[in-house]
Amino acid sequence: MNILHHDRLRIVKWPWVLALLALLGLGVYLTLANGWQAHAREWLNLVVRWLHIIYGIAWIGASFYFIFLENALERQGVRAELSGNIWTIHGGGIYYLEKYKTAPVQLPKYLHWFKWDAYLTWVTGFLLLIIVYYADPRAILLAPGSTLPDWAAIALAVGSLLLAWLVYLGLSSTKLLYRPALFLLVGGVLVAGAAYLLGQVFSGRGTFMHIGAMLGTIMAANVFFVIIPSQKKLVRAAQNGETLDPQFVNWVQFRSRHNNYLTLPVLFTMIAHHFPMTYSGGAQWLILIVLFVAGVAVRHFINVTEKEHHKTLVEGGAMPYLLVLAAALLLGAFYLTAPRPSAEAQAHPPVAFAEVQAIIQAHCQMCHAARPTQPGFASAPGGVMLDTPAQIVSYAQKIKQVSVDTQYMPLVVPGVSPLTAEQRAKLAAWVAQGAKGP
């Protein structure tokens, strides 16, 4: 029997492929003919990021849904060949689903597969790494003052993704796989070590993003090398009238659950670049691990709640202490990243607005302006514009946070000298003295 795969990604016919290539060629021509390289890079960043989020939502949503199904199955009173079944309601309809222990005696004509969301999430994510980090490693990827050549930084970054998969593969080949708590502990220590080591070379933002990319690579490789091949093996066995070893099915489910528990940590790294206070302090690796553990605790709480949905809190059906733990960890991260009062700023001689404006003009306005003059920037990052005195005053606290508290800004750009300690001290003193305008 020939099983047709419904992959939710239809094969695009050649005329449409040619039309897409023609539009792409037109975009390249317009870019080169009009000198719109920075504008094109901005739009490329937008489109790829948009696709990354779309496929990421679909992939993670599918992971959440199927783990929910596994946890919420009714396992009593079902037919012998079933692991369980479930009735659900959504969108005005009632659904009935059954899960087989291995496969039904007769396979259906159509099977719906879930794989392209995972693959395209990873591909678009890697493209974003190229656009944002690898195109100019010194701007964001490398730590300020790093002497590492660009090619070496890119090789280290890409190599970290491959190494993460190989280390995970080695761990999953041991008996640790069947001891989830110990596997989590060992994995957490390795992630912390990787974050610390990468932090010696990369910026805080670059480190966070590559730890997330390493975990995302593990998840996508799990789908490509383990989950999909095992599903194909299941289909072949059913077609040949064979029965798969239930232990093999359990082994695959362990790997799928690993993906499920990694989702919240990976989602955090996807948004972390918007919040420099998390990765620009003195112990970025510690903040990263604290927030990762909080994410895993929340994910486990959800999984246990789904699995023991018939029980009440009084009967011990949920694990509310996990939520308390997650909240405590978030509070701890909040405290660790909080700015500390500066006696030097309070005692600093009065700073005139003209001095502050001169610093902003020399180090910030080439990017943070209505019309940036810095190559590679078509618009002000984050929409923050510092063209006028009123804008500078309105962003005073933000300026202090990124240039003094975290020292994340300004970025290292060619032809612009870095902000000195004295200049940062002046900005801190100006804010401490009330951030007055001209």
**pLDDT for the residue numbered 365:** 82
Closest CA to 177 of 166, 187, 163, 192: 187
Q: 167 vs 170, 229, 278, CA distance in Å?
A: 5, 20, 26
d(CA 390, CA 387): 9
State what percent of residues in the chain have pLDDT above 70: 90
pLDDT class of 169 with cuts at 50, 70, 90: very high
pLDDT exceeds 50 at position 194: yes
pLDDT exceeds 80 at position 198: yes
| pLDDT top residue among 286 and 337 | 286
pLDDT exceeds 70 at position 318: no
- pLDDT tens for 343-369 read 666 677 888 888 888 888 888 888 888
- pLDDT tens for 113-149 read 888 899 999 999 999 999 989 988 888 898 877 889 9
pLDDT class of 70 with cuts at 50, 70, 90: confident
| pLDDT top residue among 249 and 155 | 155
Around 188, how many Cα atoms within 13 Å sit in the side-chain half-sphere?
20
Q: What is the mean pLDDT of the chain?
A: 83
State what percent of residues in the chain have pLDDT above 90: 26
Cis peptide before 410 (omega within 30 of 0): yes
